């Protein structure tokens, strides 16, 4: 799935961080979605590389 598709399906992330942003190499970043009222204990972190989802991590946050 690409970056635009993620934005369309679940919206703008609550936090964005660049993991790797070196000229000439694919950009790598993480998008963090804080817990939602329908799932109040789960934090979702999506890793994107060159605009494509490479990993989805869901953590229980208390």
Kindly report, residue by residue over 31-57, the tens digit of the pLDDT.
999 998 888 999 999 999 999 999 999
pLDDT attached to residue 24? 87
Instruction: For residue 34, give every residue at least 6 positions away whose Cβ sits within 8 Å of its Cβ, in sequence order, or none.
Output: 14, 15, 43
Predicted TM-score of the model (pTM): 0.87
Name the band, by pLDDT with cuts 50, 70 and 90, for residue 61: confident
Kindly report, residue by residue over 13-35, the tens digit of the pLDDT.
999 999 988 888 899 999 999 99
- For 6, 23, 27, 56, 61, the CA distances from 1, given in Å and listed in that order, are 7, 24, 16, 11, 25
Q: How far apart are CA 25 and CA 39, in angstroms?
A: 36
The count of domains in the chain is 1
Q: Which domain holds residue 28?
A: 3-60
Whether the pLDDT of residue 62 is over 80: the answer is no
């Amino acid at each position: 799935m690409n970056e635009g598709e993620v934005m369309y399906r679940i919206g703008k992330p609550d936090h964005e961080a660049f993991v790797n942003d070196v000229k000439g190499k694919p950009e790598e970043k993480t998008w963090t979605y804080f817990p939602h009222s329908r799932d109040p204990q789960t934090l979702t972190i999506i890793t994107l590389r060159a605009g494509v989802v490479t990993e989805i991590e869901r953590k229980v946050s208390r």
